[in-house]
Amino acid sequence: MPKKIGDASKHIIYKKIRADIITGRKKPGERLSIDILKKEFGTSVTPVRDALQMLSQEDLVTIKPRSGYYIALVSLKELNDMLELRQILERAAVERAAEKINKEQIATLKKVHAGFTDDADETYSRYTEENKNFHCQVAKASGNDELARQIGHIHDRLARFMIIVRSGKHMSDIHGHLIERLNAHDSAGAKKTLQKELDEAKMVIMDKIMREEAASWHLGTGN
C-alpha cells in the first residue's frame, strides 16, 4: 500500500528538524514556529505538527500549552542522570548478550561496525545513528526487546550531546574489541570493554559541556 503524501512529509520534516537539533543548528530553548516550518517545507500544518509530536516522544521537543513547541532544555542533573541510566541499561544488556549471543547476531554487529563513519561534522549525525544501532543490536542479543527499546530511547535523548564529543574513531576501536569479547562469550571482558566506553563518554561530555558548551546550550543546574 503506497504511503500517503502527508505521511511522507511528516517523516521528511521529522528527520530534518531532528538532524538540526542533534548537530546543534537548533539550540535548546529555541521556539519552533509551525507557520515558519510550514512555509519552509511547503506543506500544511498537519505533517509539521505530527513531526513535532514525534520529536516530543524522543524528548527532543517540549510542547507548552498555549505557547507552542520548543527545543527541549536539559539541566546538568538531567544530563548526568541520563548518562548514568545509560550505564545501568547497557551493562545489563552486555552481560546477558555475552551469554546468549549467536553467530548471526555477531555477524549483524560486525556489519553495523563496518559501516561506522568518521568524526567529520557532515557525517556525525549519521554516526550517532550507527552508534545507537550498534548498542541496540547488543541489547537485542540479550534476548530482552524492551531493554533494547529503552537503550534506543536513551541514545535518542543523548544524541545531541554525543555529537559534542567527536569520538568516532576511538569509539569504533572499542566496539571492535567488544565484538571480540562477545564472540568469545567473555562476559567479564565484554563488561570491562563497555565500561571503558561508557566512562570515557561520560567524562568527555560532562567536562566539555562544563568548560565550553554550557552557555550556548543554556544548560540549567537542575534541582
Hey, what domains does the chain have and what are their CATH numbers?
5-71 (1.10.10.10), 76-217 (1.20.120.530)
Instruction: Please check whether residue 69 is in contact with residue 165, taking contact to mean a CB–CB distance below 8 angstroms.
Output: no
Q: Does the reported pTM lie above 0.75?
A: yes
- Region of poorest pLDDT, from 36-45, 52-61, 125-134, 158-167: 158-167
Q: For all residues of the chain together, what is the average pLDDT? A: 85
Give tens-digit pLDDT for 65-79.
Answer: 989 999 998 888 899
User: What is the predicted pLDDT for the residue at 2?
Assistant: 42
**Cα-only R_g, the chain:** 19
Please report, as a single letter, which amino acid is at residue 23: T
SS3 69: strand
- Region of poorest pLDDT, from 2-6, 45-49, 97-101, 112-116: 2-6
